[in-house]
Amino acid sequence: MFSKNIIFKNFKSKIDKKQKIDLENILKKENLIKKYPLLKSLTSQYEYSYNKKNIKNIKKFSSFNLIGMGGSTLGAEAIYDFLNHKIKKKFTFFNNLQNEKISKSKNKKVNLVVSKSGNTIETISNFNLILKKQNKNKNVIITEKKNSYLFKLAKKLKAEIFEHKNYIGGRYSVLSEVGMLPAELMGLHENKFKRYNNLLKNNLFVNLLIENVAFIYKSVKKNKKNSIILNYDKKSENLFKWYQQLTAESLGKQYKGLFPTISTMPKDNHSMLQFYLDGSRDNFFTFFIVRDKNPIKLDKNNLFDQFSVLKNKNLFKVLQAQKDATENVFNRKKIPYRTFEVLNRNEETLGELFCFFILETILLSRLLKLNPFNQPSVELIKKETRKILF
């Protein structure tokens, strides 16, 4: 357990002492925020480029279009789904090249366009189509302060512009204005997400993180590079899409890295599990489950013979039994895994998970000797596309 919100069971395996010491030195002796300024956004000391007063008008709206790609939207999507029970506002995400008709809308909405570079072709195209169909919407743009296409367009439209800090890369931006402005507009409390200071003061958390990173590094060194998420919580799918992007773009370079993939459980018991148990052994696993406070109960009728034990049982009990059973078999087959069991679905929990995975990625990049903040091959495709189109 690293907080009252999450029970964490670490990988069971001995780890290399040297890696442990290296990681301890980074976490306990270095001034991490000075070295990695983006980490400031994980604390409540971070200063946003907007203040409560200048978003008051935007907060009055009830419908929002969030337009952006990759790191510019995935964090907000993760928040919207994970905390959906607390959210009364309607968000529509435009997160891929939109090849469907955008409908006209009677209500005036807010277009929230997020792009650090201000030149991403999918974002510009989607925004263009929305402007045509929903021309009364209020436009709010989060972008770097530089003469990009989006910046010029924002000026032309007299849109509200908030700065995307240039030292915070897209996939690390969830706790900056990129994820926290949407969270505020959803009616959530941004300060509750900021768990960095509490977690780093917690020795148990720090030790679990170190052992976890040392295990993953050892695994990658042995060519076990597939990080497979066994996700038992539908509302966390976007959280793991966020994790997938964070890991793949940060560590997939110089022929190194992890291959993050997501399995939907228990559906994949009937599809992928055979391979996970008996197929090639180049994987390590993450079980992820969230305790359901209001689970649906099965009916007492039409359940007989051996199925009569399910009378009035709730579906979460069934789900948990399936997860526990899978862990038991993994133990018997000595397949490496860690488990997150979330007890409370709230801002604090999500903030802790964001913080855990961001630190995990940065620490792995140190051991793998990689720059986690660039994405040379993403840029390559952007350039090649421009060569063809422009």
Min CB(46)–ligand PA5 separation in Å: 18
CA distance 81 to 107: 23
Min CB(38)–ligand PA5 separation in Å: 11
Min CB(262)–ligand PA5 separation in Å: 17
* DSSP symbol at 210: H
Min CB(20)–ligand PA5 separation in Å: 30
> x/- string (CB under 6 A) for ligand PA5, residues 351-380?
------------------------x--x--
Query: DSSP letters along 306-332, please?
Result: GGGGGTT-BHHHHHHHHHHHHHHHHHH
* DSSP symbol at 259: E
Q: Which is nearer to ligand PA5, 115 or 238 (CB)?
A: 115
Judge contact between 75 and 178, C-beta under 8 A: yes
Min CB(373)–ligand PA5 separation in Å: 8
Min CB(260)–ligand PA5 separation in Å: 14
Q: Which is nearer to ligand PA5, 296 or 388 (CB)?
A: 388
Residues in the chain: 390
Shortest Cβ contact with ligand PA5: which residue?
Answer: 170
CA distance 28 to 18: 15
User: 110-114 and 138-143: which strand pairing?
Assistant: parallel
Q: Which is nearer to ligand PA5, 183 or 200 (CB)?
A: 183
Q: Which of 115, 219, 286, 339 binds ligand PA5 (CB under 6 A)?
A: 115
Query: DSSP letters along 74-95, please?
Result: HHHHHHHHHTGGG--SEEEEE-
Q: Which is nearer to ligand PA5, 327 or 360 (CB)?
A: 360
Judge contact between 54 and 212, C-beta under 8 A: no
CA distance 82 to 290: 10
Question: Which residues are within 8 A (CB) of 109 and not within 5 positions of it... i.e. 6 or more apart?
Answer: 61, 63, 64, 65, 134, 137, 138
- Which regions of 232-282 does DSSP assign to beta strands (E)? 259-264
Structure tokens at 25: 């030195």
Residue 384 main-chain phi, psi, to 5 deg:
-60, -40
Q: Does the protein bind ligand PA5 through residue 117 (CB under 6 A)?
A: yes
Contacts to ligand PA5 from residues 229-288, by CB under 6 A: 245, 249
CA distance 31 to 123: 36
Q: Which of 23, 46, 111, 116 binds ligand PA5 (CB under 6 A)?
A: 116
- By CB under 6 A, the count of residues binding ligand PA5 is 16
Q: Which is nearer to ligand PA5, 40 or 116 (CB)?
A: 116
Min CB(357)–ligand PA5 separation in Å: 14
Structure tokens at 154: 């924002």
Q: Which of 27, 69, 239, 251 binds ligand PA5 (CB under 6 A)?
A: 69
Min CB(349)–ligand PA5 separation in Å: 23
Query: DSSP letters along 4-33, please?
Result: TTEEEE---S---HHHHHHHHHHHHHS-HH
Choose one: 47-55, 111-119, 202-210, 321-329; the region binding ligand PA5 (CB under 6 A). 111-119
> x/- string (CB under 6 A) for ligand PA5, residues 169-188?
xxx-----------------
Distances (CA, A) of 155 to 134, 162, 305, 350: 19, 12, 70, 35
Min CB(11)–ligand PA5 separation in Å: 27
Q: Which of 3, 61, 71, 260 binds ligand PA5 (CB under 6 A)?
A: 71
Choose one: 2-10, 112-120, 129-137, 197-205; the region binding ligand PA5 (CB under 6 A). 112-120
Q: Which of 3, 123, 247, 361 binds ligand PA5 (CB under 6 A)?
A: 123
CA distance 261 to 248: 10
Q: Which is nearer to ligand PA5, 125 or 344 (CB)?
A: 125
Residue 190 main-chain phi, psi, to 5 deg:
-60, -35
Q: Which residues of the shown chain bind ligand PA5 in the complex (CB under 6 A)?
A: 69-72, 115-117, 120, 123, 169-171, 245, 249, 375, 378
